[in-house]
Copies of this chain bind each other. A is one copy, B any other.
Amino acid sequence: MAAVTAPKQDRSRATRQRLLEAAVSCLAEHGWAGSTVSAVAERAGVSRGAAQHHFPTREDLFTAAVEYVAEERSQALRALPSDDREAAVAALVDLYTGPLFRAALHLWVAATGEDQLRARVTELEARVGRESHRIAVEVLGADETRPGVRETVQGLLDMARGLGLATLLTDDRTRRERVVSQWARLVNEALR
């Protein structure tokens, strides 16, 4: 068994942590097919057998990576600024262009074909999605009791997803900033 007892001392947890971080950056840079266990092990600076010890199968490794990514994304969400609405929208969109979202996207798409992963990914993504919505409402100062407000915020998040997807291959920053600025105005008016 891998964790019959919680890892008593930290060296083990350190390598486990490094393996997860390596898995995430590997996903973000080389995609699903390119993220072989040898690659993430090498990137983590450990042997392949060490990886095999912590995560007996490749699927174990990446299901753990899914939860790790979800946790990191939640954490990033809670660090959002809430002073200015324009800045809040920009920061929100930025969350969808970083390596975390890239990794999540690769997992998301890969989970389409892997039955085991799909359950985990859908479940966790639903959780992160709800949290994203909750925090978005908070930093935007939106009044969800008014009709249409909820859908407005959701649409904004969906647009952020779309921008993140577009950023995958070509990082067209200037275009993105213009779109975000305009949509921030639209949202601002709709929430007024």
Contact = CB atoms under 8 A, between A and B. Distances in A.
30 contacts: A30-B113, A31-B110, A31-B112, A32-B32, A32-B33, A32-B109, A33-B110, A34-B113, A106-B112, A108-B165, A108-B168, A112-B169, A121-B169, A122-B170, A125-B169, A126-B170, A148-B185, A151-B181, A152-B182, A152-B186, A154-B175, A155-B182, A155-B183, A155-B186, A158-B166, A160-B162, A161-B161, A161-B162, A162-B164, A162-B165
Interface of A: 30-34, 105-106, 108-113, 118, 121-122, 125-126, 148, 151-152, 154-155, 157-166, 168-170, 175, 178-183, 185-186, 190
- Protomer copies: 2
Contacts of A183: 151-152, 155
B159 A112 contact: no
A111 B32 CA distance: 11
Contacts of A118: 169
Closest A-B pairs by Cβ, 8 of them: A161-B162, A162-B162, A151-B182, A158-B162, A31-B113, A159-B159, A34-B113, A155-B183
A148 B33 contact: no
A186 B190 contact: yes
Contacts of A159: 155, 158-159, 162
A110 B162 CA distance: 17
Given A108-B168, A111-B169, 11 more contacts: A30-B112, A31-B110, A32-B109, A112-B169, A122-B170, A125-B169, A152-B186, A157-B162, A161-B161, A161-B165, A162-B162
